Amino acid sequence: MSDGRALWGDYDNDGKLDLLITGMISGNNAGSTILYHNNGGGSFTAVGTPFVQVGYSAGAWGDYDNDGYLDLVLSGMPTGSGDGISQYYHNNANGTFSMTAALAGSWFGSECWGDYNHDGCQDLLQGGRLTMVLYRNTNGTLVNSGISWPGQSYDSYLNAAWADFNNDGEIDIAASVSTSYPNRGRILRNDNGVFNIMQEFPNCAFDCVAWGDYDNDGFLDLAIVGSDTVAGPFAKIYHNDGGTNFTDTGIVLPGVNYSSVAWGDYNNDGRLDLVLGGRVPAATSHAFSAMTGATCLRWSGPRRRNWPMQWSPGVITITMGGSTS
């Protein structure tokens, strides 16, 4: 499976995380979407769903109608189609789902839930090929908010993710921008419902972005991975300098494309670690020459807040395929 997403979520409220996997099936260029129920004890069973079979796909769990059960939004390209599709599904609270409605078609993008207007309902930010749309949740119905994005008319917003990076109570956006040259990453600050460009990262049109406070200073930092026509495959970590600026830490990570990245404290030491996966070009100068794989990065710096930034190549342990560098 490639060009898709793996999404954890307890859809039946039994206290165990279930898994949805969507993407392209290797070898036959067909889209796939499978929901696996967690049986406990480390076993999973595929269950029947009405979910569309898509590749180049994205999705997100979220309770859009506030009934206590996780619903799903799913987008991508159906098998045999040249157009994107996007649909959201209601959790019927009995282990089944029903399609609620279709949204604007999207593929090679992202889906994320967040309450941008503070009305207690989860709104939807959808990034994708040629479009980024913010859907306002009105009593369980998603309606295009009509919000326009800053930049040039030919800018294409792709992958995006919510986060309140400056701790002002408003959720902001990190987005990948294509078709404007050079391609770039962009931080959009939410100024009372109007999104303005706060900072740009040239040559950093990313496949995936993850927010996480790796140095425990109270401000969310940014990890991005992807590939650019100028920079090639890359993986970068930007430090949040108090909500006013992001600085490239300069740490050398293996560049990956068709990629994803996530933060998590895998060893329970109180510090966020990083996992990234994707395709590593054979011509890479990095010690790893494998074409695909996953890399685990352990942050070995201090766990206390307000500690000076001390990133250097020597404080990250990179493990892949059982070897350490």
Tens digits of per-residue pLDDT, 56-110? 888 999 999 999 999 999 998 887 777 888 999 999 999 999 999 988 878 777 8
Please give the DSSP secondary-structure letter assigned to residue 313.
G
Query: Residue 55's pLDDT band (boundaries 50, 70, 90)?
Result: confident
CA distance 211 to 220: 6
State residue 294's pLDDT score.
41
Residue 153 CB: number of other CB atoms within 10 A? 6
Residue 154 clears pLDDT 70, i.e. is over it: no
pTM of the model: 0.79
Q: What angle do CA 27, 32, 37 make, to 5 degrees?
A: 125
Which 3 state secondary structure label does DSSP give 230? coil
